[in-house]
């Protein structure tokens, strides 16, 4: 446990620093109140709004650990949302809607996984195919309209609460814990890392790399389906054109801010989720701090750059050196000795 | 002295890689740098070429203190390096490689004609007659090696460091390379020669410096050193141990139970169909030149490439071997030749690498318990004498020989019935070499069957009960018992029909 904590320490510190920074501009940032049976406040807003990216980041972490990437998750969100809305519109009820949306997400993931594992297409190209074609598929399902529905039970997934906590926040929390638990309590995590670091050697050692690759893309599709359900339930309608638009890039960014290498290998799901929360904190914080909205993207880019620079392993050596240097200068020099360097 | 190094020290977390090492290099000498894996040769070289910063010590070139901070700076000071894996660009022409980064220009554009002329001038005196306009990749490793040397000499010109230059060369190519090296020595360069081949050290070098565990043991004139003394310096223990490994008796394989039986096994364009019976506790040697079909035979048996014809039987039952997983299920293990690409998983720890195959066989749902993992890692680190600060260190940070031992440990932990070792001692120092041979003896005592692929005939003769000779992608001869001599193997490799067993 302590090792997992140490792994996430840079992300936790970054998040705390951001919270402090936003609090300077918006002192009520940490205020949480309990109204009408639900918690409200900027922080609650962040954990709720951050849900889609946090969910995507969970699946994306696994894919990136195998040295892959999944560009299609934003589109898969749209497809799943469209499937869910269509099912509700057809009057089949909530459970079939959720189930079919997840099946749609898993199918998309399996498609990606087969292209990567069996056909041998590079992940970025393989998932690009679905990324571009997927919105068309979603539009076919919604017949080009924004499919709205009024099912309070389904809407609860997007805007409801349990004991005051927003359901979307619980969803990423439960999914994240479940995935991290499965990865670390079984050997899946090790095997995924092994194929990400050296697929050839892993195959020789008897690891079934193909099945694992398909599994991680399917997991990514599953997470994208959950994100799609949340997004659709939140606005009570499926918008094939805009649901999940560009979120694949936020998800990748969350994984990177989480300190996971795009070259595969060692991964931490918790750190990626923290990365997603960092992104959402930046987004919400900029709004709360009252900057004109046209500055938002530039400020976000600047903050992300700083975060990545601070976490860069190349720079950490320089930090170390700087610390040593400062310590040396503070130390009282022995009398009569001169600095030889 | 051209180069003097005094009290050079370099530490890494957990280890002292170099401990007050002294080293001298005169102009016009070839100076061998020897030592086991992890002795500190690479670290010394990297301190010289600017890849590492030294912690302490003094390096002087022509009497001037130097402190190169990068390879480029080392080059401009006069220190050039050629590595075993040639670091040139195969997809560019020889001329482009030779003039890379300082192409002759005309009106701001690269002048191809001048470039080729320059390249031809640089290659003068190396005894190469090649078309500098062709891609470097179309030439043999030896020629690429020489081109790399020519480039290094041109750019630096005082000191040339050759790091295992002959590891992938055959005898004729090695001779060609040695002629080049002698020519450079006569031109007054100081040459540092790192190699595991002691024969080559005695043939080529003027002086020898031996490192062990980061410390300098001795520097002596090669002519005044005998082989036994040299190995003793390198190992720090008596040679008898090593010698005792030689001369296994070849008479024990007759009446044993058959474990694996290949009949007419082959794949078009890879290996001609062959028959091979593997008996319990037997060591089979696979001899042949590089590219003759040795590795391909192993890949076929382990299911990395699927066979198109023939059948394999384990304990008399036909088995399908179309993937490593199936081969492992049949009780096979395979330590490949390219351990960096096909063997180790560099970023994973020693412990994780050792349990990897075991875990793959158990399936993802049944993780090997942590206590069991720790016990296995502990056991094999001790049994194979893997030099690592602890079991959680990433395998990529170990030296080559220790990486090889980790791959061996991975398979021994599986307790396979048939273990295939492709060049288990390639790039491994004398000490680890002897240990690996001893290990092969030990595991076959326990009933495991081993197939060893090796370029070193002495090693095959010493370890094998039977030897299969491969030539032109076909198994051409089988030697057993008293027939096993290096001479017989060479004859079988060389002569078209001699020694053929019908």
Complex ipTM: 0.87
Give the whole-number percent of chain B exceeding pLDDT 70: 92
Asked if A197's CB is within 8 angstroms of B348's CB, the reply is yes
What pLDDT band is residue B252 in, cutting at 50, 70 and 90? low
Interface contact A306, partner B, CB < 8 A: no
B366: chain A residues, CB-CB within 8 Å:
186-187
Cα separation values, A62 from A70, A175, A219, A246, A333, Å: 10, 13, 8, 19, 52
The reply to whether B256-331+416-502 shares the fold of B3-91+135-236 is yes
CATH of the domain at A90: 1.10.3470
CA distance A187 to chain B (A): 5
Q: In terms of C-beta density within 10 A (0-12 exposed, 13-18 middle, 19 or more buried), how is residue B238 classed? A: exposed
Length of chain B (residues): 502
CB contacts < 8 A, A to B, total 74
A266: chain B residues, CB-CB within 8 Å:
347
| Segment B47-54 mean pLDDT | 89
Nearest chain B alpha carbon to A265:
B347
Nearest chain A alpha carbon to B345:
A198
Residues A13 and A6 sit within 8 Å (Cβ to Cβ): no
B3-12/B109-110 β-pairing: unpaired
Mean pLDDT, chain B, rounded, equals 86
B343: chain A residues, CB-CB within 8 Å:
201, 204
CA distance B365 to chain A (A): 5
Length of chain A (residues): 341
- A240 in a structural domain: yes
Give the bridge partners for B309, in sequence order: B266
Asked if B347's CB is within 8 angstroms of A193's CB, the reply is yes
Interface contact B306, partner A, CB < 8 A: no
Structural domains counted in chain A = 1
Q: How far apart are CA A77 and CA B315, in angstroms?
A: 53
- A122 in a structural domain: yes
Q: For residue B52, which of B9, B100, B19, B15 has the smallest C-alpha distance?
A: B9
CA distance A206 to chain B (A): 5
The least confident of A248-257, B133-142, B234-243 is B234-243
Other Cβ atoms within 10 Å of A145 Cβ, number: 12
CA distance A31 to chain B (A): 44
Interface contact B369, partner A, CB < 8 A: no
Q: Distance from CA of residue B389 to its chain's centroid?
A: 23
- A295 in a structural domain: no
Any idea where the domains of chain B sit in the sequence? 3-91+135-236, 256-331+416-502, 344-415
Interface contact B356, partner A, CB < 8 A: yes
The CATH number assigned to the domain with range B3-91+135-236 reads: 3.40.50.300
Q: How far apart are CA B442 and CA B419, in angstroms?
A: 13
Residue with tokens 């720890």: B349
- A325 in a structural domain: no
Q: Distance from CA of residue A287 to its chain's centroid?
A: 21
| Segment B319-324 mean pLDDT | 94
Asked if B341's CB is within 8 angstroms of A201's CB, the reply is yes
Asked if A198's CB is within 8 angstroms of B345's CB, the reply is yes
pLDDT at residue B320 above 50?
A: yes
Most confident among A314-323, B25-34, B492-501 (mean pLDDT): B25-34
CA distance B335 to chain A (A): 9
Cα separation values, A300 from A56, A294, A308, A326, B426, Å: 20, 11, 12, 32, 53
pLDDT at site B344: 94
Interface contact B38, partner A, CB < 8 A: no
Asked if B360's CB is within 8 angstroms of A208's CB, the reply is yes
Residue with tokens 């080059």: B75
Nearest chain A alpha carbon to B344:
A201
Residues B174 and B166 sit within 8 Å (Cβ to Cβ): yes
pLDDT at residue B418 above 90?
A: yes
Asked if B367's CB is within 8 angstroms of A187's CB, the reply is yes
Residues A238 and A84 sit within 8 Å (Cβ to Cβ): yes
SS3 of residue B162 by DSSP? strand
Give the bridge partners for B80, in sequence order: B160
Q: How far apart are CA A245 and CA B410, in angstroms?
A: 46
Q: Measured between CB atoms, which of B324, B364, B365 is closest to A204?
A: B324
Summarised one tens digit per residue, pLDDT across range B198-209 is: 788 889 999 999
Asked if B346's CB is within 8 angstroms of A197's CB, the reply is yes
Asked if A193's CB is within 8 angstroms of B359's CB, the reply is no
Domain range for A11: 2-290
| Segment B473-488 mean pLDDT | 85
Residues A228 and A78 sit within 8 Å (Cβ to Cβ): yes
Asked if A193's CB is within 8 angstroms of B357's CB, the reply is no
Asked if A185's CB is within 8 angstroms of B356's CB, the reply is no
pLDDT at site A12: 93
- A194 in a structural domain: yes
Asked if B357's CB is within 8 angstroms of A206's CB, the reply is yes
pLDDT at site B14: 63
A204: chain B residues, CB-CB within 8 Å:
302, 304, 324, 334, 336, 342-343
Interface contact B396, partner A, CB < 8 A: no
CA distance A208 to chain B (A): 7
Query: What is the full per-residue pLDDT of chain A (341 aa) written as tens digits?
Result: 688 888 899 899 999 999 999 999 999 999 999 988 889 999 999 999 999 999 999 999 999 999 999 999 999 999 999 999 999 999 999 999 999 999 999 999 999 999 999 999 999 999 999 999 999 999 999 998 999 998 999 999 999 999 999 999 999 999 999 999 999 999 999 999 999 999 999 999 999 999 999 999 999 999 999 999 999 999 999 999 999 999 999 999 999 999 999 999 999 999 999 999 999 999 999 889 888 878 888 888 888 888 888 777 777 777 777 777 787 777 655 554 444 44
Q: Which A positions 205-224 lie with beta carbon below 8 A of chain B?
A: 205-208, 212
Written as six digits, the tokens of A196 are: 């990400």
Asked if B334's CB is within 8 angstroms of A204's CB, the reply is yes
Written as six digits, the tokens of B14 are: 């957990």
B351: chain A residues, CB-CB within 8 Å:
none
Asked if B362's CB is within 8 angstroms of A187's CB, the reply is yes
| Segment B246-257 mean pLDDT | 56
pLDDT at site B247: 46
Q: Measured between CB atoms, which of B328, B342, B368 is closest to A201?
A: B342
Asked if A194's CB is within 8 angstroms of B345's CB, the reply is yes
- What CATH architecture does domain B256-331+416-502 belong to? 3-Layer(aba) Sandwich (3.40)
B410: chain A residues, CB-CB within 8 Å:
205
Asked if A187's CB is within 8 angstroms of B366's CB, the reply is yes
Q: Measured between CB atoms, which of A188, A193, A205 is closest to B357?
A: A205
Q: Measured between CB atoms, which of B348, B357, B362 is closest to A193?
A: B348
Residues B36 and B235 sit within 8 Å (Cβ to Cβ): yes
Asked if B360's CB is within 8 angstroms of A204's CB, the reply is no
Contacts of B208 (CB under 8 A, 6+ apart): B31, B32, B34, B201, B218, B219, B220, B221, B222, B225, B230
A212: chain B residues, CB-CB within 8 Å:
364
Q: In terms of C-beta density within 10 A (0-12 exposed, 13-18 middle, 19 or more buried), how is residue A319 classed? A: exposed
Q: Which A positions 147-186 lie with beta carbon below 8 A of chain B?
A: 185-186
Q: How far apart are CA B24 and CA B31, in angstroms?
A: 9
Q: What angle do CA B399, B405, B406 make, to 5 degrees?
A: 90
Asked if B362's CB is within 8 angstroms of A205's CB, the reply is no
Q: For residue A274, which of A288, A284, A289, A260 has the smallest C-alpha distance?
A: A260
| Segment B420-424 mean pLDDT | 91
- A310 in a structural domain: no
Interface contact A204, partner B, CB < 8 A: yes
CA distance B185 to chain A (A): 38
Nearest chain B alpha carbon to A196:
B345
CA distance B39 to chain A (A): 27
Cα separation values, A149 from A93, A97, A239, Å: 11, 12, 12
Q: Measured between CB atoms, which of A187, A201, A206 is closest to B345?
A: A201
pLDDT at site B284: 94
- A73 in a structural domain: yes
Other Cβ atoms within 10 Å of B171 Cβ, number: 8
């Amino acid at each position: 446990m302590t090792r997992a904590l140490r792994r996430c320490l840079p992300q936790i510190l970054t998040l705390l620093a951001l919270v402090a920074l936003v609090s300077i501009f918006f002192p009520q940032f940490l205020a949480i109140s309990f109204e009408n049976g639900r918690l409200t406040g900027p922080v609650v807003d962040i954990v709720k709004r951050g849900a889609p990216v946090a969910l995507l980041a969970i699946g994306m972490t696994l894919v990136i650990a195998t040295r892959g990437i999944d560009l299609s998750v934003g589109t898969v969100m749209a497809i799943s949302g469209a499937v869910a809305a269509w099912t509700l519109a057809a009057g089949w009820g909530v459970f079939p809607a959720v189930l079919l949306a997840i099946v749609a997400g898993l199918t998309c993931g399996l498609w990606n996984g087969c292209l990567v594992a069996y056909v041998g297409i590079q992940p970025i190209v393989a998932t690009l195919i679905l990324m571009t074609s997927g919105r068309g598929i979603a539009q076919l399902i919604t017949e080009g309209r924004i499919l709205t529905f009024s099912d309070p039970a389904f809407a609860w997934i997007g805007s409801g609460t349990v004991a005051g906590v927003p359901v979307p926040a619980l969803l990423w929390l439960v999914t994240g814990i479940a995935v991290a638990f499965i990865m670390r309590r079984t050997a899946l995590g090790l095997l995924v890392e092994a194929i990400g670091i050296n697929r050839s050697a892993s195959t020789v050692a008897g690891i079934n790399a193909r099945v694992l690759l398909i599994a991680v893309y399917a997991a990514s599709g599953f997470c994208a389906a959950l994100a799609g359900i949340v997004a659709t339930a939140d606005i009570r309608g499926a918008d094939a054109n805009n649901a999940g638009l560009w979120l694949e890039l936020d998800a990748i960014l969350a994984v990177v801010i989480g300190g996971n290498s795009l070259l595969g290998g060692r991964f931490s799901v918790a750190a990626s989720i923290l990365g997603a929360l960092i992104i959402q904190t930046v987004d919400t914080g900029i709004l709360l701090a009252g900057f004109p909205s046209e500055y938002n993207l530039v400020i976000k880019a600047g903050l992300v750059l700083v975060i990545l620079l601070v976490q860069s392993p190349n720079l950490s050596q320089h930090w170390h050196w700087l610390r040593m240097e400062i310590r040396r200068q503070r130390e009282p020099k022995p009398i009569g000795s001169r600095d030889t360097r | 002295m051209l180069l003097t190094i005094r009290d050079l020290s370099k530490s890494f977390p957990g280890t002292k890689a170099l401990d007050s090492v002294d080293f001298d290099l005169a102009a016009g000498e070839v100076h061998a740098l020897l030592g086991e894996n992890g002795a500190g040769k690479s670290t010394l070289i990297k301190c010289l070429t600017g890849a590492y910063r030294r912690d302490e010590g003094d390096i002087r070139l022509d009497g001037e203190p130097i402190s190169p901070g990068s390879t480029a700076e080392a080059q401009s000071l006069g220190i050039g390096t050629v590595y075993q894996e040639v670091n040139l660009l195969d997809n560019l022409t020889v001329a482009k490689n030779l003039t890379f980064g300082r192409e002759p220009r005309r009106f701001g554009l690269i002048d191809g004609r001048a470039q080729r002329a320059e390249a031809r001038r640089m290659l003068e005196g190396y005894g190469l007659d090649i078309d500098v306009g062709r891609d470097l990749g179309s030439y043999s490793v030896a020629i690429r090696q020489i081109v790399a040397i020519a480039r290094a000499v041109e750019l630096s010109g005082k000191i040339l460091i050759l790091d295992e230059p002959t590891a992938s060369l055959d005898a004729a190519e090695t001779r060609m390379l040695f002629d080049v090296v002698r020519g450079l020595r006569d031109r007054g360069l100081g040459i540092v020669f790192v190699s595991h081949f002691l024969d080559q050290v005695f043939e080529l070098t003027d002086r020898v410096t031996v490192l062990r565990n980061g410390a300098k043991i001795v520097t002596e004139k090669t002519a005044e050193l005998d082989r036994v003394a040299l190995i003793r310096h390198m190992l720090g223990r008596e040679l008898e141990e090593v010698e005792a490994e030689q001369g296994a008796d070849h008479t024990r394989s007759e009446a044993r139970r058959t474990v694996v039986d290949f009949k007419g096994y082959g794949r078009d364009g890879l290996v001609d169909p062959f028959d091979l019976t593997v008996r319990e506790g037997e060591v089979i040697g696979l001899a042949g030149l590089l590219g003759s079909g040795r590795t391909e035979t192993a890949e076929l048996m382990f299911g990395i490439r699927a066979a198109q014809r023939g059948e394999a039987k384990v304990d008399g039952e036909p088995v399908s071997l179309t993937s490593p997983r199936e081969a492992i299920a049949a009780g096979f293990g395979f330590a490949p030749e390219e351990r960096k690409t096909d063997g180790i998983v560099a970023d994973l720890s020693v412990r994780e690498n050792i349990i990897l195959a075991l875990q793959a066989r158990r399936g993802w749902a049944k993780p090997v318990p942590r206590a069991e993992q720790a016990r296995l890692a502990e056991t094999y680190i001790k049994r194979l004498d893997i030099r690592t600060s602890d079991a959680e260190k990433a395998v990529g940070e170990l030296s080559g020989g220790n990486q090889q031992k980790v791959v061996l440990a991975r398979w021994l932990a599986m307790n396979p019935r048939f273990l295939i070792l492709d060049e288990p001692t390639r790039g491994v120092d004398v000490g680890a070499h002897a240990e690996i041979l001893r290990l092969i003896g030990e595991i076959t005592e326990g009933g495991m069957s081993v197939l060893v692929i090796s370029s070193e005939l002495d090693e095959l003769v010493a370890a094998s009960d039977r030897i299969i000779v491969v030539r032109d992608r076909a198994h051409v001869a089988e030697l057993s018992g008293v027939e096993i001599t290096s001479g017989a193997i060479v004859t079988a490799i060389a002569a078209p029909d001699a020694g053929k067993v019908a």
